[in-house]
Structure 1
């Protein structure tokens, strides 16, 4: 399986990237997955060029392909003006122009960082509707980290709960189709009656 992390942090070091790394590490404790991190800061110029030319550059194309191929996504943005960052939104705009079904059905763990707890509702009024519109499967638990949350009680528990939810929905994903096909085959075997038996049932005794 493949877990892709999309981080929209701008500074170095970045609290947004730190939260992304902690969520990825927690998910890795619950399930084995190949990890790839997409740093949107490194793609800013190619994202801008894509708006002008309509064609993705090599790094942006590779990032879009990674997100399209993910079995699970962790997406983390800093809060700007009580919403996700413009860079974060621009990347997913470009992604859906390239492929409108890019993350349809993909489990997504949404997270954000900000300077004050008052912006925590960005998860519900901005991020959740965005990914619901993109027809992703948005996990129930979202994680917001304000400046005062680092090192305080509660953040670790939210990270672990969200990671467990993501791992739980990723883990059975590959086997669900086979299990469903097996159940269907068993049901059909029970329901199908050989033609000879059907014909015999129609004959008068």
Structure 2
């Protein structure tokens, strides 16, 4: 298999942040499993806090700055996505949603996604399934069944008495790797390119000729 491209989207606002910490842990678990299967991987990490101003400008103007456009392309070109957001007011952060809003609607169509979220208390643990998962499903991405939520207690001493964080991380990572390894590397086609509606090797001339013959 060719090198698998993994995009990691982290929407943490502080530096360092528990959101990035969870994103890194999920990424390591995925990379370890891919390596165990002899699959090479290339990782692109997008820290949304670095693009916050550009995201807002893109919402106002409709045009992303060069750095933001590069981050958006990394996600669109990825074979798999790891997306982690902090939870504010029972849902994903405004920065996270704003980035999704300026992302091309077809950028992650069919892309397997591992979802993660962080918050101060476990009370927000269901946010992945009632807020984040529907968002990615709407975009026709393919979230894996297990989402990983980490509260503040998950990083402390004596944490995870009920469901250890690393156990959840490993399970979600295995689900993502199973999908990636099963489908292999696929090239995404620009929906506005001639190939998307003419087919490989097609031409406008052949398409017009076919339509002319149909009209006869």
Shorter-chain TM range is 0.7 to 0.9
- Could you tell me how far 1:175 is from its partner in structure 2? 6.7
CA separation in 1, counterparts of 2:132 and 2:55?
Answer: 20
Cross-structure match for 1:145 = 150
CA separation in 1, counterparts of 2:97 and 2:126?
Answer: 17
Q: Verify: 1:58 aligned to 2:42, yes or no.
A: no
| Structure 2 counterpart of 1:24, from 24, 27, 31 | 27
Q: Residues 83-119 of structure 1, C-alpha deviation per residue, up to 9 Å, x if partnerless?
A: 0000000001100xxx321101000011100000000
Q: Residues 106-146 of structure 1, C-alpha deviation per residue, up to 9 Å, x if partnerless?
A: 00011100000000111011001000000000100000000
CA separation in 2, counterparts of 1:133 and 1:150?
Answer: 32
Question: Who wins on radius of gyration, i.e. which is larger?
Answer: 1
1:2-21 matched pairs, under 5 angstroms: 2-21=5-24
What's the Cα RMSD here? 1.4
| TM norm structure 1 | 0.82
Cross-structure match for 1:167 = 177
Secondary structure of 1:167's aligned partner = helix
Could you list the structure 1 runs, at least 4 aligned residues long, displaced by more than 4 angstroms after superposition: none
Give the aligned length: 174
Q: Residues 50-109 of structure 1, C-alpha deviation per residue, up to 9 Å, x if partnerless?
A: 1111110011100100000010000000010010000000001100xxx32110100001
**Structure richer in helix, relative to its length:** 1
| TM norm structure 2 | 0.78
| Structure 1 counterpart of 2:41, from 33, 36, 54 | 33
Secondary structure of 2:184's aligned partner = helix
- Could you tell me how far 1:172 is from its partner in structure 2? 2.2
Go from structure 1 to structure 2 and tell me whether the alpha carbon gap of 1:176 and 1:93 turns closer, same or farther (over 3 Å shift).
Answer: closer
Q: Structure 1: which 5+ runs fail to align?
A: 178-205
Cross-structure match for 2:81 = 73
Q: Structure 2: which 5+ runs fail to align?
A: 35-39, 188-216
CA separation in 2, counterparts of 1:23 and 1:122?
Answer: 18
